[in-house]
Amino acid sequence: MAREDEVVDTSRRIAQAYVHLGQLSSAILEYESILQRRPDDASVLAALGEIEAKLGFTEIGLRAARLAFAPLPDRRRRVLDDLRRMQGNTTLKPH
């Protein structure tokens, strides 16, 4: 296994442990570190969507999940851009 794969796998396990412990903010940070290396990782995007939904940000969570399963690169890019805009929106409130 390449070093890069080992780093990502370790980060993924750490993030999953944080979720299990209920430390969702730490899990988000760990998953985001994976996205720095692999921005199109569907499993990470889906996991982030689940966390966002747990935190009450259902619209962001649904968009992240939709991104994870979007089959076409152009569609994924549009959904990802939309998601990033939403996450940067300081007026966004949990539902």
18-64 per-position pLDDT tens digit: 999 999 888 988 998 898 888 878 888 888 888 877 877 666 666 66
CA-CA distance, 32 to 37, in Å (whole number)?
9
What would the mean pLDDT of 62-67 be, rounded to a whole number? 64
Q: Name the 3-class secondary structure at 31.
A: helix
CA-CA distance, 91 to 95, in Å (whole number)?
12
pLDDT bracket for residue 74 (50, 70, 90): low
Closest among 25, 63, 28, 71 to 48, alpha carbons compared: 28
pLDDT higher at 13 or 69: 13
The whole-chain average pLDDT of the chain stands at 76
